[in-house]
Structure 1
């Protein structure tokens, strides 16, 4: 098997992981109905997965730094497959969350190893493209995995979606055993050294912006299916289509964010992305009950929300170019913490208020990121520096 084909295999595995994380949002209302539990309670299945991913992954990667990457990948793919397959036999909410925690932890480890192996297998000068291919696999879950899961759950028991993920993981594992070469582990950077980066004020601000930005997205996306069904009054088939369109828009938004960052710098890109994101959520609150208006708003929301990711990553790299791997490890954990916080906050809003109040809380969250960005910009302006120009260290 050619190395390029092996990278595609790793990308497919990343797609399965992304689907496992995001799929709950697409079928949240159906799970709640089946288990006879409130929607906010089911939403915490997203929180459990994200926290296990964020907290467990760096610990496991650090503790197993000397273990052969292929062996580690095989083991945690088995854990991931088992955690999803066992869902077929579970009807207790507590045990379902236990399986979600195991799935989240194993998914995080597998994703990191997949990224590492992709860089190792790539030809000289093509490492970035190989890493991007794995990331695209994860992002493709929003485009294909979530809407497809919504369609499948309308035909059969939602548990079969997770069973399918388990089966596909085992099928991929056969190819991994046969095609992925053994790769030696490497010396890990101790967690205490990783945490030292947080003492850098500029880096910490970017992480805080990341947290509130992705929390704002998660507040809405974690409960998107019941929101569209009960507030926008969309039919089930229309929801599946809109989830697909939103997934496509999110990938386009990410690409546009990268393009604008290279062309204009990180700050103008973030300013535009945060502002449109915040404004769109405000319009959600005003026009959420109009399905026709929501079609346009959902696309704008997906485009603007995901345009910020590349700019935030660029800013982090520019602040610590010698610590890229650590920077991205912390960034990934912050994304997962933000996803978990958004799911929790959304659940609280629904319990004490209603679904139609979610956008206002999301707008407030992204507004925090916008204020932080404005603060950084004003400080730079006072010090006489121009902010975020491409090709300069900002």
Structure 2
């Protein structure tokens, strides 16, 4: 009984870390649901508003590994408290923004704070429990992001379309403030030892390996294809269907729950059939979904397009995110488990680079084409990712080069 009580007490701070991850995930993905409203109020085009996604994702991709390496010797508790406090303040600044460039500045602050918080939370979660319960601890923290995709984003869209996009950022600021207070109360001064963090030299050395670079490049192509469309999903819904903005949350809820289910199914599929098989199936399905989205937008009347579009969104969300756990497993396979934390850290940076590239590709498409062309452009990126996968050949490493990773290392790489 005493051990059970101690176990519950040791896990309690993890839920506050998960709340912080939920706030970060909600803010990072919700911008797509309120993009038309932001563009309208700030008197910018949808393409310009989409650059808010590019700026956030690019700032995260570049700063996270740098700041993680620089802050590796600092106390993890202080890092969590400072970064989540900065994240709350960044959302307050965003909520108060009445100009495009003020919102751009807020998004940069948010990206920097998120890029410090997530690796620190993963590292501390893995260090503060015994090795046998490490997987459970990491699952709790990571669940914050998954729940944000499934519930936080549609709720953000509902709040934004009902009360204005400023209210959405204010709501996330409240969540971040609550998480900060919870972490302050729940994490003691000696909550966990400082975990070793891979330096920039180790990261560059791994990227220089051709097999790893090809795998990471596929991550960027896959995520850019999805985000070229997702960033402008609200605008696409307005153009292709008769759905009113107040109901956009329904579409984002369907996409989010499908994405969460896809992550779960992708993990199970990877265990049963192998990572490469899951990716080889997921990419063509995703490509077909994006092609169908543009085809429906161009050739189906808006008054009858709603249900086909919603069905396509479900397939798109599930297939896109089923690839994520499989790609992580594939990277560990090609890089070797001894450098799994570094490989997964690099994957996160290449993932956010893809988000930034996708938002820019989408903006270019809107400027030189039309909203209905986004799915075709996204499908082109996914096709390129698939061709890169096929060209990779046998990626299996010799068994002698794969060693068991040190406890807690893989955990640190998940969100770095």
Q: Do they superpose with TM above 0.5?
A: yes
Measured after TM superposition, the shift of residue 232 of structure 1 is 2.7
Measured after TM superposition, the shift of residue 122 of structure 1 is 2.9
Q: Deviations over 1:187-225 (max 9, x none)?
A: 432202211001222111110111000111101110111
Report which stretch shifted further, 36-45 or 160-169.
Answer: 160-169
Distance 1:355 1:129 in 2: 42
Aligned length, in residue pairs: 383
Q: Specify the alignment match of 2:372 in structure 1.
A: 356
Aligned pairs for 1:142-291 within 5 A: 142-181=149-188, 182=190, 183-288=192-297, 289=300, 290-291=305-306
Match of 1:317 among 316, 328, 332: 332
Q: Specify the alignment match of 1:371 in structure 2.
A: 387
Distance 2:195 2:150 in 1: 35
Distance 2:265 2:181 in 1: 37
Measured after TM superposition, the shift of residue 157 of structure 1 is 2.5
Q: Which ranges in structure 2 are unaligned for 5 or more consecutive residues? A: 1-7, 403-416
Match of 1:293 among 302, 305, 308: 308
Q: Specify the alignment match of 1:334 in structure 2.
A: 350
Q: Deviations over 1:240-288 (max 9, x none)?
A: 1111011000011111111111111112111110010011111112112
Aligned pairs for 1:46-125 within 5 A: 46-125=53-132
Distance 1:186 1:254 in 2: 27
Report which stretch shifted further, 228-237 or 107-116.
Answer: 228-237
CA RMSD of aligned residues (A): 1.8
Distance 1:340 1:283 in 2: 24
Q: Deviations over 1:105-163 (max 9, x none)?
A: 10111111111111122343221232122222112212111111111122223112112
Measured after TM superposition, the shift of residue 237 of structure 1 is 4.0
* Kept after mapping to 2: 8 A contact 1:7/1:121: no
Q: Deviations over 1:362-387 (max 9, x none)?
A: 000000111011112xx33xxxx9x7
* Kept after mapping to 1: 8 A contact 2:123/2:195: no
Q: Specify the alignment match of 1:344 in structure 2.
A: 360
Q: Which ranges in structure 1 are unaligned for 5 or more consecutive residues? A: none
Q: Deviations over 1:26-56 (max 9, x none)?
A: 1111111111211110111111111111111
Q: Deviations over 1:87-120 (max 9, x none)?
A: 2322111111011001011011111111111112
* Kept after mapping to 1: 8 A contact 2:128/2:193: no
* Kept after mapping to 1: 8 A contact 2:67/2:115: no
* Kept after mapping to 2: 8 A contact 1:50/1:337: yes
Measured after TM superposition, the shift of residue 235 of structure 1 is 2.2
Q: Closer, same or farther in 2 for the Cα pair 1:204/1:42, shift >3 Å? A: same
Distance 2:105 2:90 in 1: 9
* Kept after mapping to 2: 8 A contact 1:66/1:184: no
Compute the TM-score of the two structures, normalised by the length of structure 2.
Answer: 0.88
Q: Specify the alignment match of 1:130 in structure 2.
A: 137
Measured after TM superposition, the shift of residue 72 of structure 1 is 1.3
